[in-house]
């Protein structure tokens, strides 16, 4: 039976019994293909989450996915309620930069209701903790993740326009996988956004892995998957996030003083 498969990275459509081993348009592996008939509209039921897990990789089934799956194994072991979101399957537009017009123009809910970011805003507000995973693209995060984080401005801007910080005190952790340089810079760039919203970094809340520019990138997947130390550290970071989440830090802090825009 012929089926239509769609590449989540570039949108290439393939007709056949199974997806191609490699996308002929963008070279993504078979794991990036999904059945066109199996596509589901992105939704959120509004229930509270223990952890929102955001996979910011353009290739959601590739190297970053290895770290994400290790983190998921730790979450399942602790039987927490988490939601994994692969950004390459969610429609997130560029930020309109309403704030640049005047402070109060940047609102929550966001003025752009034409994509699916408003659902991610709700998830952030209703999650006790956040885990973000990113590749390294030219010494920084992926463009998809940058768009997502730019769009959190309407949450951060509540501090300036409403005098409240709805996410202050919540813990965050960060996972990074890449080929060569830029791992800690990428992690810090990501954390900067969350720090501006009042999040706190979980103890040992950053795990990263790189292989090396002297190798062909085709060897990265095997290197990462076989790195028992990286698996150990990734699961430790996930567990530290869970423990920080269970401390209910926003309540323990009591009143949190807002000191940034």
CATH code for position 27: 2.20.28.10
Q: Please indicate, yes or no, if residue 231 is contained in any of the structural domains.
A: yes
* Domain shared by 28 and 115, yes or no: no
The sign one gets for the Cα dihedral 99, 103, 105, 107 is positive
CA–CA gap between residue 3 and residue 34 (Å, rounded): 10
Q: Is residue 260's pLDDT more than 80?
A: no
- 13 with 142, same domain: the answer is no
2 has a pLDDT exceeding 90: no
So what's the pLDDT on residue 131? Answer: 98
pLDDT value at residue 85: 97
Residue 168 token pair: 């202050």
| Judgement on whether residues 47 and 117 belong to the same structural domain of the protein | yes
Please state, rounded to an integer, the average pLDDT across all residues of the chain: 94
Peptide bond into 109 cis (omega under 30): yes
Both 82 and 2 in one domain: the answer is no
Residues 4-39 pLDDT 10s: 999 988 889 999 989 999 999 999 989 889 888 766
Q: Which residues of 232-259 are buried (b: 16+ CB within 10 A; e: fewer)?
A: ebbbebbbbbbebbeeebbeeeeeeeee
Structure tokens at 41: 């509209």
For residue 99, being part of any structural domain is answered with yes
CATH number where 232 lies: 3.40.50.360
pLDDT digits (tens, 9 = 90+) for 200-240: 999 999 999 999 989 999 999 999 999 999 999 999 999 99
Residues 249 and 154 placed together within one structural domain of the fold: yes
E runs forming strands in 94-240: 127-135, 171-178, 200-210
Same domain, yes or no: 117 and 243: yes
pLDDT digits (tens, 9 = 90+) for 235-251: 999 999 999 999 999 99
Q: How many domains does the chain have?
A: 2
pLDDT band at 60 (very low <50, low <70, confident <90, very high): confident
Q: What mean pLDDT is predicted for residues 172-190?
A: 96
Residues 172 and 196 in one domain: yes
The reported pLDDT for the residue numbered 150 is 98
Answer yes or no: do 67 and 23 share one domain: no
Average pLDDT over residues 175-179: 97
pLDDT greater than 90 at residue 190: yes
CA distances from 253 to 68, 200, 247, 249 (A): 29, 11, 10, 6
Mean pLDDT value of segment 36-62: 91
85 and 22 in a common domain: no
- Report the alpha-carbon distance of residue 241 to residue 245 in Å, rounded: 6
Given pLDDT bands bounded at 50, 70 and 90, which one contains residue 169?
Answer: very high
Q: Do the domain assignments include residue 261?
A: no
Query: Which is nearest to 54 in space by CA: 123, 128, 5?
Result: 123
Residues forming a β-bridge with 16: 3
> Does a structural domain hold residue 106?
yes
Specify if 260 maps to a domain.
Answer: no
158 inside domain? yes
How much of the chain, in percent, has pLDDT values that exceed 70? 98
Question: Is residue 254 helix, strand or coil?
Answer: coil
**Cβ–Cβ under 8 Å, residues 7 and 32:** yes
Residues 5 and 69 in one domain: no
pLDDT score recorded for residue 34 = 87
Domain that holds residue 109: 40-253
Q: In the prediction, which pLDDT does 261 show? A: 61
* Residue closest to 159 by CA, chosen among 190, 197, 120: 197
| 137 and 69 in a common domain | yes
Is the distance from CB of 139 to CB of 182 less than 8 angstroms? yes
Residue 73 lies in a domain: yes
Indicate whether 209 belongs to any domain.
yes
Judgement on whether residues 168 and 125 belong to the same structural domain of the protein: yes
Residues 113-150: pLDDT tens digits? 999 999 999 999 999 999 999 999 999 999 999 999 99
């Amino acid at each position: 039976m012929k089926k239509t498969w769609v590449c989540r990275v570039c949108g290439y459509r393939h007709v056949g019994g199974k997806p191609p081993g490699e996308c002929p348009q963008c070279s993504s592996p078979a794991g990036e293909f999904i059945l066109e008939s199996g596509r589901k509209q992105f939704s959120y039921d509004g229930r509270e989450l223990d952890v929102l897990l955001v996979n910011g990789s353009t290739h959601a089934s590739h190297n970053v996915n290895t770290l994400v799956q290790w983190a998921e194994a730790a979450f399942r072991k602790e039987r927490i309620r988490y939601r994994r979101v692969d950004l390459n399957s969610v429609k997130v537009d560029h930020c309109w930069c309403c704030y640049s017009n005047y402070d109060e123009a940047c609102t929550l809910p966001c003025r752009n209701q034409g994509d699916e970011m408003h659902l991610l805003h709700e998830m952030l507000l209703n999650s006790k903790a956040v885990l973000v995973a990113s590749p390294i693209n030219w010494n920084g995060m992926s463009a998809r993740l940058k768009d997502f984080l730019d769009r959190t401005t309407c949450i951060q801007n509540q501090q300036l326009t409403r005098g409240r910080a709805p996410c202050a005190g919540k813990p965050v952790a960060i996972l990074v996988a890449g080929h060569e340089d830029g791992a800690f810079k990428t992690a810090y760039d990501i954390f900067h956004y969350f720090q501006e919203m009042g999040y706190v970094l979980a103890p040992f809340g950053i795990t990263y892995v790189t292989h090396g520019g002297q190798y062909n990138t085709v060897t990265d997947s095997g290197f990462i998957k076989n790195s028992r130390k990286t698996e150990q550290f990734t699961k430790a970071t996930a567990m530290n996030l869970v423990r920080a989440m269970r401390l209910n830090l926003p309540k323990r802090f009591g009143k949190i003083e807002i000191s940034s825009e």
